[in-house]
Amino acid sequence: MRNRKYYPIIVLVIVSAMLLLFSVIINDKRNLTIIEKIFKDTTLSINTLAMKPINILEDKIKEYNSKQKLYEKYEKLSEKYSKVELMETKYEEAKKEINDLKKVLNLNNTLSENSYMNATVITRNIGYWYNNITIDKGEKDGIKKDMAVITNDGLVGTVIKTSNLNSTVKLLTTSDTNNKISVKIKIGENEYLYGLLTGYNKEKKCFIVEGISENTDIKKGSIITTTGLGNGLPSGILIGRVESISKDNFDLARTVLVKSSVNFDDISYVTVLKKEEKK
């Protein structure tokens, strides 16, 4: 109890000593002691080693965040590009449809003696690609069997079946040997050679015209059209142009290969020619 009166003096001495020590330590002009130098170097080394993985982790986190932002930008740009690509596809499809319709309209302006009906191809039997197509016009529209079906580039085929709402068209490219059409080849101002379109060469993508016995010269590029005889088709419908001419083994008859301008692999719109009934 007697020593308690010295406690304030002891505390004051300790505080004074600590203040003196701090003043010495923070004195910039004072040189560090060896122990202080070792302590400082050791502390800094430990701090550097301890902070190194933390710094690496921070760098990785920054790198990840940066890549994440770049990926998000890429996703947005990719989405915009996909939309632009889709718009371009729709534009090309619309442009194709417009061009096809223009061809139909241009063809309609040239038809006079026969009435016509524009139609759209709705199905095509892939199993018989070179045989039939189905169009969206039928008996209610006045479509009848054996009517000619054409595009702006020439004859496509003939109607073989009809229902109330649609019709089946047999294409000229069918392998049906009964699908013979009377045709004529223009060789002069008002001169023609007559023959029969008897088939289609799928390898050369040409029609086969036979039965030409005359020795009159036939030039490549000569126009071939329908005659209007025998098969009920109107006269003057374009079939194509002469691609090549060959003779049989006896040099008696010639076979003509005819190239059509119709793209039979891509038919979307057609026109059906309807003969006007005579009153």
**Tell me: the pLDDT tens digits for 25-74?**
555 555 556 765 565 556 656 666 666 776 777 777 778 777 777 777 77
DSSP state of 113: S
Distance between CA atoms of residues 149 and 158, nearest Å? 5
Taking the CB of residue 213, how many other CB atoms lie within 10 A of it? 11
Residue spans of beta strands (DSSP E) within the chain: 115-124, 132-135, 148-151, 154-162, 167-171, 181-186, 192-201, 206-212, 223-226, 238-247, 254-259, 269-274
Residue reference for tokens 């003196």: 20
- As a CATH number, domain 111-172+267-274 is 2.40.10.340
Q: Which of 82-96, 139-153, 176-190 has the lowest mean pLDDT?
A: 82-96
Residue reference for tokens 């040189």: 31
Q: Class for domain 181-259, per CATH?
A: mainly beta
Q: Quote the pLDDT of residue 227.
A: 87
Burial class of residue 266 (count of CB atoms within 10 Å of its CB; 0-12, 13-18, 19+): exposed
Q: Mean per-residue pLDDT for 237-259?
A: 85
185 versus 3: the higher-pLDDT residue is: 185
Instruction: Answer yes or no: are the C-beta atoms of 224 and 236 closer than 8 Å.
Output: no
Q: Mean per-residue pLDDT for 234-255?
A: 83
Radius of gyration from C-alpha coordinates of the chain = 46
φ, ψ of residue 223 to 5 degrees: the values are: -80, 140
CA dihedral 26, 29, 30, 35 (to 10 degrees): 70
Domain 111-172+267-274 identical in fold to domain 181-259: yes
Distance between CA atoms of residues 190 and 193, nearest Å? 10
Q: Quote the pLDDT of residue 242.
A: 93
Burial class of residue 196 (count of CB atoms within 10 Å of its CB; 0-12, 13-18, 19+): middle
The SS3 of residue 240 is: strand
Domain positions in the chain: 111-172+267-274, 181-259
